[in-house]
Chains A and B, each alone.
Chain A
């Protein structure tokens, strides 16, 4: 697939604060790309630069091989679905969707058939004459998507489009968006802070933190082979412990030597070791590679979330079997469940569950809704 959009050395500062730091990135034609990162990481700014609402301080932007850094928004073949929908309140549903075609002076007959087509695609047939202010959030979102798609742009940008919807509706819209994208084959660039959303919808994910791209890859790559502690922690749950790479396929951490499947490190190089909570098996202490005491157990529906203290480091384990708090248990880890990462500036910042609580997680989720 050809590169459709390319960012070369894009930097941007607001009031002297660097939001994007020389970003190099490209998007292939027909891809579903997600820019994923916490609030304030620069992902929305990146999207606004592609859309033409901000200009980069440095670097250049290419579209279909031509530089468009200086091309104003209305001349770019890129449409956006905004976070707060930005439907035109003075127009009804039909006129909102027809808006881009009216600008191009498309004959009324064609407009009629195209709007009807779009409305049936987003499952809003029969809503033509409704005022947009009477629609629910999900319906407004669909109108916004129809309006962005009707003039067949090569790319549509979606800025946390599902952020304001409730969980159930969000899940429905996720699969609907994905099927719309596959049906029409337009490139989608999607911004979100929701890692689940990113994993379930994307062809490619770019994980962004502090204005830099941390990792680009397919959802499985990013989940199974995170590049550093930030990515490992941000995507899913991870236990990240300090380890020493004794030799290829042999790593020592938490006082035990493990077999693993990673190599290519220096002898005795300090590394970060990632073990996903679902990859740890609870076994009797005599069969365990590691032993520790259970400090808390939380029922999560599908599984129990167990926090285990191993040599002062709190591990999170997900198990379908109940264990009692204060019990001493053994842990067994398969070699391919161990992922080794080079040390980075994020080492030691994430992956310990000693201060973990559900409440804090929810609080930080609420924060991210305030993305600028």
Chain B
């Protein structure tokens, strides 16, 4: 039984990580082959940084992810605070469910509906669809990132309750000051983790971007997909490796941070 559980564990992690490790390995392959590893080289990394298309796609992806996660964080935090302040329980529940819909909805449906929407908007404004490229994409990404921010901020606000805000008001804060000086610092962990989640969501979205995107605004996932129709070159392995490593580092940082938080609250709890 003991052995079985160990074997099971190895199997699971093997299935999860061997493909990724293979990808990383082949990104360092000196030959243009996906089957044979012929020696270590950084050739594909050099090629990656010399390819203007890839570089532009990477830039687009990052700009989009940063902007959409920032905007979604601001709107989402405000929305969470608004939902918390609602008096009617019925309305509160209804709004919470409505904001969750884009998360539950299949991406393909969200993507198609957004495309239809932006086509209509373009027609009304009298511009071509291509003109709206970036903004359409930004709006779409903010929309599907929003629920993740609300989902991560709302429990924090609920947990915090009214007492600190009331104390701030009592000591002379305007409601605005009370929010920014007292409430926001205390819900910051939720806000930050919402932002990180939104950032990664936006970074690797393919389905919705595929529908909404236009030819003059390529993101990385779209570029990689378009390459698969021809042949995936190992510089894409290099790119994927970089993305995996970045996400891995982000994860470690956020885990260390939240680990510290838990530690602190444990200490405080023990003293009581």
Contact = CB atoms under 8 A, between A and B. Distances in A.
B173 A134 contact: no
Contacts of A103: 171-173, 177
Contact of B170 (A74, A89, A133, A137): A74
A82 B171 CA distance: 12
Interface string A104-140: 1000000000000000000000000000011011000
A69 interface: no
B182 interface: yes
B126 interface: no
A88 B166 contact: no
B268 interface: yes
Given A88-B167, A89-B186, A133-B264, A151 B172 contact: yes
A133 B268 contact: yes
A88 B164 contact: yes
A80 B169 CA distance: 10
Nearest to A76: B170
B186 A79 contact: no
A89 B183 CA distance: 10
A136 B172 CA distance: 26
The bracket for how many chain B residues form the interface is 20 to 34
Contact of B172 (A74, A87, A90, A133): A74
Interface string B148-175: 0000000000000001101111111111
B271 A134 contact: yes
Contacts, number: 67
Contact of A90 (B174, B175, B186): B186
Contacts of A86: 163-164, 166-167
B272 interface: yes
Nearest to B269: A133
Interface in B84-126: none
A87 B268 CA distance: 14
Given A89-B186, A90-B185, A90-B186, A100 B163 contact: no
B167 A74 contact: no
Contacts of A25: none
Contacts of A89: 186
B182 A88 contact: yes
Interface in A77-93: 78-80, 82, 84, 86-90
B271 A100 contact: no
A51 interface: yes
Contacts of B164: 86, 88
Contacts of A137: 272
A322 interface: no
A227 interface: no
Given A74-B173, A151-B171, A53 B166 contact: yes
B170 A73 contact: yes
A79 B168 CA distance: 10
A72 B185 CA distance: 23
Interface of A: 51-53, 72-74, 78-80, 82, 84, 86-90, 99-100, 103-104, 133-134, 136-137, 147-148, 151
Interface of B: 163-164, 166-175, 177-178, 182, 185-186, 264, 267-268, 271-272
Counting from the closest, the 5 A-B pairs by CB-CB distance are A86-B167, A133-B268, A90-B185, A86-B163, A100-B171
20 contacts: A52-B170, A53-B169, A73-B169, A73-B170, A74-B175, A78-B170, A79-B171, A82-B166, A86-B163, A88-B164, A88-B167, A88-B185, A89-B186, A99-B171, A100-B171, A103-B173, A103-B177, A134-B271, A147-B171, A148-B171
